[in-house]
Chain A
Amino acid sequence: MNRTQPRGISNDRDRTRRRNAGASDANESGALGHIDVSHGLGGMDDVVTRRHFVKIMSASCLLAGVGLTGCRRPVETIVPFTRLPEGYIHGVSQYYATAMPTRDSAVPLVVRTHEGRPVKIEGNAEHPDQPTTDSQEHHHRGTDRHAQASVLSLYDPDRARRFGRNGENAPRQQALDFLASVSRKFEPIGGKGLHLLMERSSSPSRGRLQSLIRRRLPHAQWHVYEPVDYDVHRQAASLLFGKQVRPVFRLERARRILSLDSDFLAAEENSHRTIHSLAISRRLNSSDQEPSRLYVAESLYSLTGANADHRLSLSPSRLLLLAELTCAEFIAQSITKHRETDTAKLAGELRRRASPLPHSTSQWAKTCVADLVAAGPGSLVLAGYRQPLLVHLIAHALNLWLGSVGRTVEYVEAPARPELSIADLAAELEAGRVDTLVVLGGNPVYTAPADLDWTRAQRKATTVIRLGQYEDETSAVSDWQIPQAHYLESWGDARTGDGTVVPVQPLIEPLFGGLTEIEVLARLGGLTPTNPYEIVRDTFRELCKEGVFEERWRRFLHDGFLVGSASPAVRVGEVDWSILSAALSETENHKTPRAHQIEVVYARDTRVDDGRHANNGWLQELPDPVTKITWDNVIAISPKTAKQLGLQVTDKDGKDLRAPIVRLELNGRAIEGPIWVQPGLADHTVGLALGYGRTAAGRVGTGVGFNAYSLRVSRAPHHATGANLSKTGRTYPLACTQNHASMEGRPIVREANLEVYRANSRFARAMDSDTSRPARSPALYPNPLARMSTSARHQWGMSIDLQACVGCAACVVACQSENNIPIVGREQVRLHREMHWLRVDRYFAGPAENPEMLNQPMLCQHCESAPCESVCPVNATVHNDEGLNVMVYNRCVGTRYCSNNCPFKVRRFNYFDYHRRPLARLNVSPLVSATDGLWDTKRWWHDPDRGSRPEDEWNLLKLVQNPDVTVRMRGVMEKCTFCLQRIEQAKIERKVAAADSNRVEVEDDSFHTACEQACPAGAIVFGNVKSPHSLVAVSKADARSYQVLDHLNLNARVTYLARVRNPNPAMPDYHPRPHSTEEYLKHGGRLEGGFSSVTGTSLKTAGRPGGER
């Protein structure tokens, strides 16, 4: 096969597929998802005859033994530049400011490149959109998991690699000529018959080109479709206030937050910033501070619900009633201000509609509203994107009445969006009025509402031109396929949440010659210039009028933002009552769900989003923050509903997790998928994550999970009612990284309510993790580190604030990216062989109807008295003098004793050569397999590094590796190193700067571990605990600081700050202690006199090693 061709195009591949039909069957388990194994399985079905075996054996003996050819030393060459790029120093990483565009916003980034290839994504800490409170300015450098994982997508070998016409390769120039011909064809007729279907974008350049093209082609029609669309925020605000505005939330200033199904920590736009804001509002540096209080009413169990102080689970139809009741209660409670008759009438109507709500729920709403009213301008009400317009209007109105506008929420200018919808486009297509359809990004064949029958509709256009990053479902029914450039190889621009303009600048030439959206638009519109760099510069010229252009442009690229370009805030006046009343009469109330009238909620998936990240292995293997399931989506149902339907998830010996497959029918459409019993979910409600069941995603994402889009219709894009669940009798194997949800009364995550914390701020240290013993026994042996640490300048330690951590798992992906951690695939995860060095543990406590959820990032604790070290027979895991538990890969022989002896289960073993073998062939010997038509042993002989990865995979995936970290091979143990490479780099930089002076101590806060840097909440603090004023030492000195499993005398270098909840005592669901504490007490735990405060530091030489104990 021609290597430059994309896979999956030529006939060769089809042949491979057919030949392997038998082989791949073995890997399929039922009709549901499995990893696509059809690639490069050439050798799998080769029959190994005796003759063949002898041939291979003799050949390998010859190769390995005779003549010691294995000891040959190949000649290595150094290929220097012929002309050195300016400012380039080989071996020193370069950093560029750019941004990852999202639907309505962008994530400002600083990306590290190594030898011209981007390898690590970091947040841009200089970006002006920083949370500000009355007291101080905060520094936000976090990112989200999608941004962290996006670097892997850049090197995805399955990306669209060619220009195609009707499935055949077309030269690039031919495609460009065709675009020009389209432009010439439509210009005389004003664009009649030309339709463009786009995704949402905040790019000023795209907006400018659109208006230019509108002038040239006034009859061309523009359509926008997003399967998960946040535009309702803007629509509602603009409608209610009669101005073109959108809300910007400032959670950092909020004291009381009510979320009406708004998963602002995971599913909404700009979640990385919102997480930081929430963490600031909850900050607890001293016991006189009060953390903000979060009320959440939701249908699914979301990350936001998991972090709530009061959570109410309601089916979507009930949630609407709750919103109505909240509004009515608000009017009733602040009636003095709103005495007008129409207000009272509205309140009466709202209350009447909400009457089916049970007393406890209305009591919840009433008390919650009273709390919001008491907090006044410090309150904030948020509505989720899934909620109907009415709920959004109510939320905006409440914010206005509470006086929160200008404080916790700001309304900023947002231009109107005149684009039409996908339903309009479908109607035009059906009517045969579409001559040329241009699909820019997106994947409508997969994501469009099922009732539009998009595959058929799209074919009705005479010509379909598709710009896409992948040759996916939509490409298959398009006439022209144009590869789209990844954002890391594109020139572009975007606006972040506050409206600040940020550049998107390329860090590498397009790997597959892809085009950007603005370039295609410019070519279609017959505009000049068509070069995206020039387009962005022209836009920038319009955006910044004053100053020397070149200077400002260079600053723009250097800083990664344009100062003062944030959208101006708009003053909003009174609420127009009639709008609220009108919306009320338009919104119909649904009946309460029952066993055979189940309500369905379609959710943006926490990992693959709407399906766009389906081929990203890091995200596929990232456990869902709540269910902890990897490589699948599930039909989430509540325990009660599961019991009624007689469904049960089984886990035989903890090794074979199986979920029953059910059939979910809704208005004549049906899907089949495995269920997952999710405590805390509303009864008779099912949650379906979108983005799975792809049929043409690529090697990683094809066939994973089931497709929830096939149920979704344009009338009911977010919720639907009247579904029916029926058993199929089959089961499905799921891969879940944490099957056990309870802490069983052990104080692993420690928490207390605010009153308890105020009474005894050291409550966490008083909790005792071994209740079976009367008191802590002192260590029998002296701390082994005490002797060796005398020579060290630094003692490294980490403190993790569980009050700030929301469990978003950005750290997990950041760690994977930084430390070359492989993905292992679904089958290996089922065997609990996932490789994440850092995981986020999730626990539930309390009743199954509405439990409290707890998160805990768990990584190597770097115990000073490390149990792993004492059992290693080959000294492969040892301590260094700076308190790091280091892993020496070259010494490791893979006994795995260390892992057995680790109480935290944070050590990971390379059961297979995950880097060098494709997932489907992990356990196939290179002696009997072939790749790209070549015997693997021969390939190995020519390039021992390559393994049995197909050439295209290997050539690209090796580029994503961090060159500062060893890529581990099969048979060695690995684990968190505290980002040793960053520590050493920081020390080296300090020493180089020190030269012949003694200022060699690394300054505090001058470098960060990958998890710390990525954490949007700022929950992780890492540094030198020996220096008493370092951030980490201060954090460890906090009264809430504790060690996990402290009774083992491990003296762990990772300590945690206990979580403090702030529930409202007046609420009906108030309980004086968190459920986990209740469980702890039930298991005989004590709340005072624990041993933690009794013993002192064992390590006298270091100032505060291992933190406070």
Chain B
Amino acid sequence: MRAAWLNSDIVPGARTIAGGLLVGAWAVAGAWYYFTPEYTLVGYQPLQPVSFSHSVHAGQLGMDCRYCHTGVEKSWYANIPESALCMNCHNQVLRDDPRLTLVSESALEGRSIDWIHVHRKPDYVFFNHAVHVSRGVGCVRCHDKVNEMDSVRHALSLSMSSCLDCHRDPAPRLCPPSQVYNLDWKPISATTQLADGRKFVAQWDVRASSYCSACHR
């Protein structure tokens, strides 16, 4: 019954070699996966229960992020708006649109919508939105150009190194406080960005901590 090619009499140490190859292949595959953007969820774009389009609301209509994500300046958490907030406009606009049935029902009947979580961080990371947005870290820095996405896509890696890059050297990445929610804002050039960034770091006394305790508690 035994496969002849595995017979150690024919190939000495065949089992060891075969086993080694198998383990090696797993290890390579694991490491490979670890280094792909896939590992950090980049490209994740789940189908949401409501086909809400950021490109329409934040892009075409130019709505401010904070109209819906009301907690972003006060809390660690940038909340998903309640259904009643959608209905502020949609009881006038597109009132009977079938795409909005779920939302209007939810607002009427008090049944929540299960949105799918896209930008996730591990439980042991304590990230705080409020402190970042009030100190010149724009939304676009982590979420990319959401105003051009129909359905939200995890466009950038939110790995620990992406946090640390900025924490170690914030100057090239800070934006003027007025432009935090402007997803289309771009510095005139890399040189002006650096000059402005250094000015902000000095004026606001920015000392982003890169010690473990900054994010892990």
Contact = CB atoms under 8 A, between A and B. Distances in A.
Interface of A: 73, 75-84, 89-92, 791-793, 878, 880-882, 884, 886, 888-890, 964-966, 977, 980-981, 984, 988, 991-992, 994-998, 1000
B65 to A, nearest CB: 16
Contacts of A966: 123-124, 216-217
B20 interface: no
A75 B116 CA distance: 7
A988 B145 CA distance: 26
Contact of B217 (A84, A89, A965): A965
Given A965-B217, A981-B217, A991-B131, A80 B113 contact: yes
Given A76-B116, A889-B124, A81 B82 contact: yes
Given A80-B79, A966-B123, 8 more contacts: A79-B115, A81-B82, A82-B112, A83-B82, A83-B107, A90-B79, A966-B217, A984-B213
Given A76-B117, A82-B110, A889-B216, A998 B205 contact: yes
Contacts of A793: 205, 207
Contacts of A992: 73-74, 130-131, 134
Nearest to B124: A966
A1071 B149 CA distance: 81
Nearest to A988: B131
A578 to B, nearest CB: 66
A986 B83 CA distance: 32
A983 to B, nearest CB: 8
Given A75-B46, A889-B124, A1000 B205 contact: yes
A975 to B, nearest CB: 13
Interface residues of B, number: 50
Given A79-B112, A791-B207, A84 B75 contact: no
A686 B136 CA distance: 68
Sort A-B residue pairs by CB-CB distance and give the 4 closest, nearest first. Answer: A91-B77, A880-B211, A91-B75, A998-B205
Given A78-B115, A994-B204, A988 B82 contact: no
12 contacts: A80-B81, A84-B85, A90-B77, A793-B205, A888-B212, A966-B124, A980-B213, A984-B126, A988-B131, A996-B135, A996-B204, A998-B203
A84 B112 CA distance: 11
Interface in B159-178: 177
Contact of B83 (A82, A89, A880): A82
Given A90-B77, A964-B126, A994-B204, A886 B112 contact: no
Nearest to B84: A83
B198 to A, nearest CB: 14
A878 B212 CA distance: 9
Interface string B47-89: 0000000000000000000000011011111011111110000
Contacts of B113: 79-80
The CB with the most chain A CB atoms within 10 A, among B41, B124, B205, is that of B205
A77 B11 CA distance: 54
Interface of B: 41, 46, 70-71, 73-77, 79-85, 106-107, 109-117, 120, 123-124, 126, 128, 130-131, 134-136, 177, 200, 203-205, 207, 209, 211-214, 216-217
B191 to A, nearest CB: 22
B196 to A, nearest CB: 12
A792 B207 CA distance: 8
B216 A82 contact: no
Contacts of B209: 880-881
A977 B75 CA distance: 23
B168 to A, nearest CB: 11
A991 B134 contact: yes
Contacts of B82: 80-84
B148 to A, nearest CB: 22
Contact of B116 (A77, A888, A991): A77
Nearest to B80: A80
B216 A888 contact: yes
A91 B207 contact: no
A55 to B, nearest CB: 25
A984 to B, nearest CB: 7
A91 B130 CA distance: 11
A886 B214 CA distance: 10
A73 B154 CA distance: 15
Contacts of A91: 71, 75-77, 79
B106 A977 contact: no
A878 B211 CA distance: 9
Contacts of B126: 964, 981, 984
A92 B75 contact: yes
Contacts of B131: 988, 991-992
A880 B216 CA distance: 12
A28 to B, nearest CB: 39
Given A92-B75, A988-B128, A996-B136, A78 B117 contact: yes
A462 B81 CA distance: 57
A793 B214 CA distance: 14
A84 B115 CA distance: 16
A524 to B, nearest CB: 36
A966 B217 CA distance: 6
Contacts of A81: 82-84, 112
Contacts of A884: 213
A964 B124 CA distance: 10
A792 B214 CA distance: 12
A58 to B, nearest CB: 19
A78 B77 CA distance: 12
B34 to A, nearest CB: 11
B75 A886 contact: no
Contact of A83 (B46, B71, B110): B110
Contacts of B136: 996
B135 A995 contact: yes
A81 B120 CA distance: 20
Contacts of B115: 77-80
Given A82-B111, A984-B213, A997 B128 contact: no
A1076 to B, nearest CB: 37
Contacts of B211: 878, 880-881, 886
A222 to B, nearest CB: 45
Contacts of B110: 82-83
B124 A998 contact: no
Nearest to B70: A89
A821 to B, nearest CB: 14
Nearest to B207: A791
Nearest to A965: B217
Contacts of A998: 203-205
B80 A78 contact: yes
Contacts of B112: 79-82
A882 B210 CA distance: 12
Contacts of B214: 880, 984
A105 B165 CA distance: 56
Contacts of A980: 213, 217
